[in-house]
Chains A and B, each alone.
Chain A
């Protein structure tokens, strides 16, 4: 609080400089602390370069297009997961909410069912997804239960609701209302095919990157995840923020359901089995801290891309997909270890 005298300040600088010289590792720690997406970005670049080298057909525009399409579903889902993990929560039910919502959208729009217009079915899906997220949030804030337990429970509930509602039946391509297939539409950009689903995903990333960085709600999300007690004492209504986060995430899961229908050209109760954990994988590899309050949504996009790149690269190189599990598993552990290390950084 007091300006240092020249003597002590100079001494301080000298010490600081000495420490700085002593360890370049510390400097790296500080940089990664400020830019948490830097390490996943380097992993993405390195992985892409390696596969481009070992698998000649990997680095083609066509394949890059395929990789983005393969990222769309998990990439979208993981935006909601990022919001939740930023509050130091977790959602094990997001994939189940997505699949349930996709069944609601597809079935209610079927001629033999409610025969809703496609747009209305999508709107209904948004409401269902939002309500599902709201229910998670309500259980977490009102009953004061850990998110892990609540969403483990709702994972079971939404999974069984899906099976009961779908009666084991897939809604096939020709039964789908045309609006529901919009997000599967490809746009050819000179060999690089992007789908509208990918564009929707990228749009959502842009929106939430903005919201988290430039709005009060964004600051509150970080504050609540960082130190809920401090946030409360600073005048933030922690439970309100949490409830809004789980609800918004539910809406995002519903949009992911629409992307999913477009991607697989069907709505199946058995799709997206791995989506729950895959979304967490993308967030964690993307450098967002499981302890909350730290991370960027762009990191999650990079994390989701890494998974797709590894998947595609291994298959083009003719290697067993078992290696994908191995590689991603190792990346998760490295990412969490790195997060622990980076969190100890002090500038």
Chain B
């Protein structure tokens, strides 16, 4: 009983790691975000679900610097931040797997993984001649792949356009997992994956969570969402429609909320944190973190 109260008092003290307040984003006449609120708490897995066009991708783009919202605020650890480009959010430790994957087809796997944060050779070659440490980056990329259990990608010098959709998704996920040290955002990361590969991404999400890393997962796969999410943010018509937990709502109800068939009372639209973050929170060892800093 006492642990229960301890837990709830601990939960009530939590500040969101990443928060969006009243986000508005329009594309011409299309209103993608219509005053959307969003909160991700420390150490949790937050699923974001919603119909196509509900503004899920637009929201995470506004949170990760890929798009600048027309209005609204973004807070990181309670502090207001302005991300004007993806590099700003990356510098703050927010890594994103975009729905479009954002990999460069003509470049190889290692170059893609280290794009924008390349490592140079030691000594004069690196400092004066700016020579990249190609073999070092390929080795680290390989290590990262194996640590994530990605066995089908052997040759890190292989160009990405020769990969299948699932393999490209793997590259994108591996890159995010390697460099994210604050928040990891996954926008439909399993859309192009088979059953076993999806299961592996799910396992990766659980591993990250167990290390204290907060994860945002956008997915259409309800069984997956219900298996891994602590809370579920339902996006509807460019706004937050509801926040629920897999324990209190059934998949059928969730679908009804998504489509608007089931109305959610206003007081239930802002469910607070439910998970006490893992104690090991902090930099996650992935073998690549020197590159991130």
Contacts and interface: CB of A to CB of B under 8 A. Distances in A.
B101 A230 contact: yes
B196 interface: yes
Interface string B161-179: 1100011001000000000
A192 B132 CA distance: 37
A227 B112 CA distance: 12
B104 A227 contact: yes
B90 interface: yes
Contacts of A222: 104, 106-107
A142 to B, nearest CB: 16
Contacts of B111: 219
Nearest to B96: A233
B116 A215 contact: no
A237 interface: yes
B34 interface: no
B115 A219 contact: yes
Interface residues of B, number: 45
Contacts of B201: 1
A303 interface: no
Contacts of A210: 129
Interface in A110-164: none
Interface string A279-296: 000000000000001100
B106 A226 contact: yes
Contacts of B41: none
B118 A234 contact: no
A234 B130 contact: no
B131 A232 contact: no
Contact residues of B: prevailing secondary structure: loop
Nearest to B98: A233
A234 B118 CA distance: 12
A3 B152 CA distance: 6
B132 A216 contact: yes
Interface string B141-161: 000000011111000001101
B100 interface: yes
Interface in A193-235: 210, 214-217, 219-220, 222-223, 226-227, 229-235
B102 A229 contact: yes
Contacts of A237: 85, 87
A83 B183 CA distance: 36
Given A1-B149, A1-B170, A2-B149, 17 more contacts: A1-B151, A210-B129, A214-B130, A216-B132, A219-B107, A223-B104, A226-B105, A226-B107, A229-B102, A230-B104, A231-B115, A235-B85, A235-B115, A236-B87, A293-B104, A293-B106, A346-B162
Interface of B: 66, 85-87, 90, 96, 98, 100-107, 111-112, 115-118, 120, 129-132, 134, 148-152, 158-159, 161-162, 166-167, 170, 193-194, 196-197, 200-201
Interface of A: 1-4, 210, 214-217, 219-220, 222-223, 226-227, 229-237, 293-294, 346-347
30 contacts: A1-B166, A1-B167, A1-B170, A1-B193, A1-B196, A1-B201, A2-B149, A2-B152, A3-B152, A4-B152, A214-B129, A215-B132, A216-B130, A219-B107, A219-B118, A220-B115, A220-B116, A222-B106, A223-B104, A229-B102, A230-B101, A232-B66, A233-B102, A234-B103, A234-B104, A234-B115, A236-B116, A294-B106, A346-B162, A347-B162
